[in-house]
Amino acid sequence: MDKLVNDFSLGLFFWQAVILVVLILLLVKFAWKPIMTSIAAREEGIANALASAEAARKEMHNLQADNQRILQEARLERDAMIKEAREIKEKMIADAKALATEQGDKMIEQAKATINSEKNAAMAELKNQVAGLSLEIAEKLLKNELSDKGAQTALVEKLLGDVKLN
């Protein structure tokens, strides 16, 4: 301890104090303050950049999820549309088929009716012609009868024989 006290030099202490005070003041003004401010500003910048990168990443993630959702929706919609179109097509075919059948039936019906009426008309005409023919025959017969009794009887016999043959 005695040695320590003996070694102590007030002059050196004085200079050290002066140098330290001046050095601290100078460095604070010209070095520490600008350095600390720059470092703090840079760190703030880095922190901000990181935060915004994180936000961008999140947004990207959201966007991707959105896209996925929209895609899914579109796919569903497309499937629905295809299904609907198929149904419409089948319905149309069925309808067309039904309509055609109906139309055909109607035409056949009409044709049948026409054939029937034509046949009836033909039958009526035939009947008329048969009647006419009968009358003509009868007329001719009567004319012959009136001239020859035997012949008349033979004719009648013959006619009757014809009828029988018929």
Question: How many angstroms separate the CA atoms of 1 and 79, rounded?
Answer: 98
Dihedral angle, C-alpha 92, 93, 97, 100, nearest 10 °: 60
Pick out residues in 44-83 that bind another protein (CB under 8 A): 45-47
CB of 59 to another protein, least distance (A): 22
State both tokens at 12. 């050196």
Question: How many angstroms separate the CA atoms of 153 and 149, rounded?
Answer: 6
Applying CB under 8 A, does 11 fall inside the site for another protein? Answer: yes
Applying CB under 8 A, does 4 fall inside the site for another protein? Answer: yes
CB of 75 to another protein, least distance (A): 43
Nearer to another protein, 39 or 115 (CB): 39
Residues 6+ apart with CB under 8 A from 155: 141, 144, 145
- The one among 10, 146, 163, 165 contacting another protein by CB under 8 A: 10
Binding residues for another protein (CB under 8 A) = 3-4, 6-17, 19-20, 22-24, 26-28, 30-36, 38-39, 41-43, 45-47
